[in-house]
A and B are shown apart, each in its own frame.
Chain A
């Protein structure tokens, strides 16, 4: 054990150590390994989707509308003869982009507000707290609908709306995590070393409160994807013919009654898989960023 760690303290060992740690986290919990594999699949689909798919997702073909899944069209075709498989794969990028951007904004703004509130307490804390309570008081999906409807039907607004409804979760979490560490010994020691408040907050306390936030980010990603799809399902945000899971489910829903189930089921499954992956990913991600697990 001692020989292992002393050998791996060199600089070039850092990457190898990370890979070994990654492998350990994977093998320790097979569910995490499955989640990571799915995650990689989703990322590949998002990055290279348009080049990988067999058909142009926007090309209509009136000769082959509403065909059932076959070797030629794996997920069948829709009412305009577009290939459902191609559309599902290509849609990954848009859905993931909305979710990632929204969660990133929510994380940065929310955790900054929360960390400041937790560190200074008093009025800062009270004002931020009440602000977050106000957001939480609305039914969140309805609030998002309202924001998009009021601000205009664009993708940016979907992102802002999703970010705003996710803010309170990060703010509250960061506040608690920072508040419990405010009086830690290493924070006092940092003060004695001549660190100003913002330095202590940014370099001592905040990095140490990251692991639980990682779980929150991951869970939130799934939720944000669902939220974006939900908004476009009811006709807000993304507009046809852009391939997007929510719209595809909405369009396909009309055909379920007449027996053409593949139009709605496959994008729905893709949506479910994405949400499922991010939910599973949370724990693995925490294990990965927690230095205490890295022994």
Chain B
């Protein structure tokens, strides 16, 4: 075997913190060959990003490489001085960051930013930089590169910004590209376009790629080999086919189980002996609970009107779960804010439990009797909890405001709720920053169900969570629906997650519903082109040998 392009041995990274030294990465071995695509998969806190920072020597001041060696193309990165490193960075190894908008300088034209890196590394002169930059813009498939050269980051969409970041990263023809969650925060269709572009450019240039992601499906679609990390250690490393055919480590198995597949049910995401698994029993669907009739929300002046939600009508029955799927900017959040009565609609009617609530202004609805029957679980569990309030205080708040309970009753209710959502009682007095993402999500759910609502809007409730936590939270939501006989309106960009909980799905595009139908039918026979595009863009892990009755290894799915 040839000498690998990158050879990391026994890498250990430590961080000095207030509570002593924390080892973020423990004895990690990774090697990448020329032209190979390696995926590092792990959940938050697994040390996957820290590994890549160590590789580029861009760790925080508190972090240091405690042990091990990093050899890149014959250069010892661990011992190299700062000058050698700045030569290497950008020119030999470059990186694509998670948030493309934050990675670009907001007050400099994007073309200039591409020029900067080429001039910095002596690959272009002031005279020919412009031409080269435009060539790079062409290479990342940006239309009208001549015009886009002068664009500022705020004028471009998230996907376009990520293309610019890729152009900057590839401008010096590096040998290794590190992509740290390059598509988090992008829509699925954009994610597919960006990932296809990275893979294509890497193949064209014989470039090695290190893809860091939390999404096993994404890694499966685009990588040759996968390294699975947990708590700073590599637990498994194998070629994609082997890994999916026979995962060895229990953590890998758990991760694979938790990643939703095309055919999995919500209970399948957790091991068969896990008591948190939701039962498949369903309450019968009752009479209509929410009727939305030609709902419109328009922004801007009459002459220059933009309709965020355009003539939306649907019915949600008692005990039913309805999915609302669409990409960013399609109007799904505006819709949920109007139904939640946080935003006043321009026109249209909302009939909830028999009374028209659209006529009550958002301001008055805050203390309307129906307020308690209409609750919501927010997208970001961290943002939705007051950082100065303990978990208990957050859960209590709706009951204090809308229910007359004494101190004793409140405490009992909070304990019952905490138990219901699986939050250990001793965590109730902690502040949000002392809780993990999954625990914060539980606090948010406990608060939402505190008043026993009839309709719960779930606004991407698992988008900010790791897959294994997502599995638990989805099962919790499924169980609670049966216990409390609630209806769900599940809003998401991810059809794969929506189908786990919903009976019916609506697909929304540019403020309008383009397709609606029972979940299974919509997914198996999508009639609208947009639904098909959405479905095709979802990266799926290959079917697992152990979950279906076949022992033969399945070919990896390279593009779906």
Contacts and interface: CB of A to CB of B under 8 A. Distances in A.
B376 interface: yes
A194 B376 CA distance: 13
B367 interface: yes
Contacts of A1: 19
Interface stretch (B51-59, B99-107, B382-390): B382-390
B87 interface: no
B431 to A, nearest CB: 6
Given A186-B386, A189-B378, A292-B387, A194 B429 contact: no
Given A6-B426, A188-B378, A193-B397, A24 B18 contact: yes
Given A9-B429, A185-B383, A295-B18, A194 B434 contact: no
A213 to B, nearest CB: 14
A196 interface: yes
Contact of A185 (B18, B363, B372, B378): B378
Contact of A197 (B363, B375, B447): B363
Given A9-B426, A190-B397, A194-B367, A295 B434 contact: yes
Interface in B399-445: 401-402, 426, 429-431, 433-434, 444
A204 interface: yes
Contacts of B109: none
A189 B402 contact: no
A195 B397 CA distance: 9
Contacts of B401: 193-195, 199
Given A189-B447, A291-B433, A295-B18, A194 B372 contact: yes
Contacts of B385: 185-186, 189
A204 B384 CA distance: 11
Contact of B367 (A4, A6, A185, A196): A196
Which secondary structure characterizes the binding site on chain A? Answer: helix
Interface in B339-377: 340, 342, 363, 366-367, 371-372, 374-376
Interface in A184-210: 184-186, 188-197, 199, 204, 207-208
Contacts of B426: 6, 9
B433 to A, nearest CB: 5
A72 interface: no
Max chain B C-beta neighbours (<10 A), residue from A188, A190, A192, A204: A192
Nearest to A188: B342
Nearest to B377: A189
A186 to B, nearest CB: 4
B363 A192 contact: no
Contact of A208 (B371, B388, B434, B448): B388
A5 interface: yes
B398 interface: yes
A189 B375 CA distance: 9
Contacts of B434: 5, 295
A200 B374 CA distance: 19
Max chain B C-beta neighbours (<10 A), residue from A1, A190, A199: A190
B503 interface: no
Interface in A1-35: 1, 4-6, 9, 24, 28
Contact of B430 (A5, A28, A192, A207): A5
A204 B430 CA distance: 17
Nearest to A190: B397
A5 B388 CA distance: 16
A6 B448 CA distance: 25
Contact of B383 (A184, A190, A199): A184
A25 B384 CA distance: 28
Contacts of B342: 188, 191-192
A208 B430 CA distance: 17
Max chain B C-beta neighbours (<10 A), residue from A199, A294, A295: A295
Max chain B C-beta neighbours (<10 A), residue from A186, A190, A193: A193
Contacts of A5: 430, 434
A196 B183 CA distance: 39
Contacts of A188: 342, 376, 378, 384
Contacts of B429: 9
A28 B62 CA distance: 14
B430 A295 contact: no
A194 B398 contact: yes
Interface string A142-163: 0000000000000000000000
Max chain A C-beta neighbours (<10 A), residue from B342, B366, B398: B366
Max chain B C-beta neighbours (<10 A), residue from A191, A207, A295: A191
Contacts of B375: 192
A6 B371 CA distance: 35
A208 B433 CA distance: 14
A185 B387 contact: no
Nearest to A197: B363
A189 B366 contact: no
Contacts of A199: 401
Contact of B398 (A4, A9, A193, A291): A193
B18 A193 contact: no
Contacts of A9: 426, 429-430
B230 interface: no
A193 B397 CA distance: 6
B236 interface: no
Contacts of A195: 366, 397, 401
What are the 5 tightest A-B residue pairs by CB atom distance, in nearest-first order? A185-B384, A185-B383, A193-B398, A194-B401, A194-B402
Given A185-B384, A186-B383, A190-B386, 13 more contacts: A1-B19, A4-B19, A6-B426, A28-B18, A185-B378, A189-B447, A190-B397, A193-B401, A193-B402, A194-B367, A197-B366, A291-B388, A291-B431
Interface of B: 18-19, 340, 342, 363, 366-367, 371-372, 374-376, 378-380, 383-388, 394, 397-398, 401-402, 426, 429-431, 433-434, 444, 447-448
10 contacts: A188-B342, A189-B384, A190-B397, A191-B342, A192-B376, A194-B367, A194-B372, A194-B398, A197-B363, A292-B387
